[in-house]
Structures are given as structure tokens and as C-alpha cells.
Amino acid sequence: MTSPTTSDQPRPTGALAFVTSGTPDAQEACRLLVDRYGAVAPEDADVIIALGGDGLMLQTLHRFMGSGKPIYGMNRGSVGFLMNEFRETDLQERLQAADVTPIHPLTMDVENEAGDIYTARAINEVSLLRQSSQAARLRVSVDKRVRLDELICDGIIVATPAGSTAYNLSAHGPILPIYSPLLALTPISAFRPRRWRGALLPNHATVDIEVLDPQKRPVSASADHTEFRHVVKVCVREDSHVEGLIMFDPDHGWDERILTEMFHY
């Protein structure tokens, strides 16, 4: 989740740290930029420059979540929805002009069959998926009120606006404007109720999902790239106390990217 960029958001400049996806293109881009602008360790940087694709951006946002350090990505990967165009020149000027968007992640608490409790954060989505050939049986509650006694499906997604154009969109979920105070609750291949297409929830809602037949129909739960298997209960909520910062060039900001996706056919 996000909140609007405000006039008192920092316009970072100065010391830069670089992280890369490790691909040859990203490594070469890093060498060129370090030669031109210099580099410091991440803990000493004013801005983190991420060179790669969307996977690297998610990893970097997780790594520096709550640090106050904004992340400016440049695309040196195969997918670049979260990245700016790569250019070797005018980097400091681009940072000065960039829009800074705060992001609040989701927190996922899971309990597995052994009774172990784990917590993980998600910037894009929390997803539950069947682990076997049999569909999952889930009970879905919102703010402690049961909304679906039984959902038989391949899985279910709780997506933020930032993640609404990722897995959520592939599962035919709605695209959310980046500043909307909403979460998308989207089923994956729902069998019963067959016509249920999901729901839009306020971002302050708490979603509880119970696995009804975990031994016969095992289910995994993932927060972005962090997966837990054989889960029996999952609780998802926005963590409004933790913030990450992502930067976009003003002529190709997040709102424009989402609008482009909405009208893509």
C-alpha cells in the first residue's frame, strides 16, 4: 500500500550505493555508473540504485524497508514495471526530479500443521496455493466475520495496489490505482462458489484464511518470495508503521504505468 507523495518528502541526492541482479547487463551498468558517480556502502548512502528487473526491486525494497533510504531502479532485467529507463547520464538530475512514493507492506502471520508460527512481509501480495493435485478448501474471514464458509479453489491472493498488476492481474484480479486505500482479494481458479470473482477491501481490513482440510488438501502460503508449506491458518493485514520509499521519473510515474496497464489490450 502507498500514500501520496507529499511536498516534504526528501529529494535525495549525494552519496549513492548500487545493487545489481548479477546479470552481465546489470554488472556492466553498475561499472559504468560507479566510474561516473562513485559509490559508497549502502549504510552510508543517501539513495540506493537498483540495477536489474522487478525481482531485484522487490528484494531491495524488502532489504531497506524502514531505513528511510529511497530506492531508484533502472531496468537491466527482463521485466521492468517497477524500474525506470536505464541511462548512464544525468543521474543526479533525475534523482532530484523523481517522485518519491511511500509503500506500506502487508504482514502475513502463518501457522503450520506443527503449530509453528511465522511472520513475513509482502510488497506485492500474499498468496495461498494448493500443494497437491486436489483443490484447496478455505474459509475466508474479514475483520473476524466469516465471508466465505467454504472456498474451493487453486488458491487466493491478497494484493496491494503495487502488486495488483503482478500475480493478481494474471489471476484476473482488478488493477488498483497506486494511492487507493484498498486491497484486492482475488481467487485463483475458484470452483465453488464458481462465480465468485473476489472482493475489494479497505486497506485497514484484516483477512483471516483457514485451511479446512490441510492433510488431504495441503496448502502453501507466500509473502512475495517467502514461502511456508503445510499451513493451516494465515492472517494478512497492512503494516502502516513500516515504510519503504521507491522513486520514479516524473514523466513515467507509477500512476501512468498503472493507467497504461488498465487500457492495455
Residues 58 and 89 in one domain: yes
CB distance 161 to 179 below 8 Å: yes
> Mind listing the pLDDT tens digit of every residue in the chain (265 residues)?
544 444 344 445 589 999 999 999 999 999 999 999 999 999 999 999 999 998 999 999 999 999 999 999 999 987 778 899 999 999 999 999 999 988 899 999 999 999 999 999 999 999 999 999 999 999 999 999 999 999 999 999 999 988 998 999 999 999 998 788 999 999 999 999 988 999 999 999 999 999 999 999 999 999 999 999 999 999 999 999 999 999 999 876 667 777 777 776 6
Same domain as 111, residue 99: no
Binding residues for NAD(+): 54-55, 124-125, 154, 162, 165-170
Strand order in the sheet with 182-188: 199-202, 182-188, 155-159, 125-130, 219-223, 226-228
Q: Give the domain CATH number at 111.
A: 2.60.200.30
Q: Which residues are catalytic?
A: 54
Q: Is residue 7 part of a domain?
A: no
234 and 110 in a common domain: yes
Q: Do the domain assignments include residue 64?
A: yes
Question: What 3-state class would DSSP assign to 68?
Answer: coil
CATH of the domain at 50: 3.40.50.10330
Statement to judge: residues 122 and 221 lie in one domain: yes
Picking from 11, 123, 10, the residue whose alpha carbon sits closest to that of residue 57 is 123
65 plus 33 within the same structural domain = yes
Q: Are residues 121 and 233 in the same domain?
A: yes
- 3-state DSSP call for residue 28? helix
SS3 of the chain: helix, strand, coil, percent, to 5: 20, 40, 45
Rg (alpha carbons) of the chain, rounded to whole number: 20
- Please give the tally of structural domains in the chain: 2
Output the pTM of the full model. 0.86
| Residues forming a β-bridge with 99 | 248
Residue 186: which domain range? 106-238
Burial label, 244 (beta-carbon count in 10 A; 0-12, 13-18, 19+)? buried
Yes or no: say if 5 and 37 are a contact pair by the CB < 8 Å rule.
Answer: no
Q: Check whether residue 157 and residue 195 sit in a common domain.
A: yes
Within a domain: residue 62? yes
Q: Are residues 79 and 142 in the same domain?
A: no
Q: Any idea of the CA torsion for 21, 22, 28, 32, to the nearest 10 degrees?
A: 60
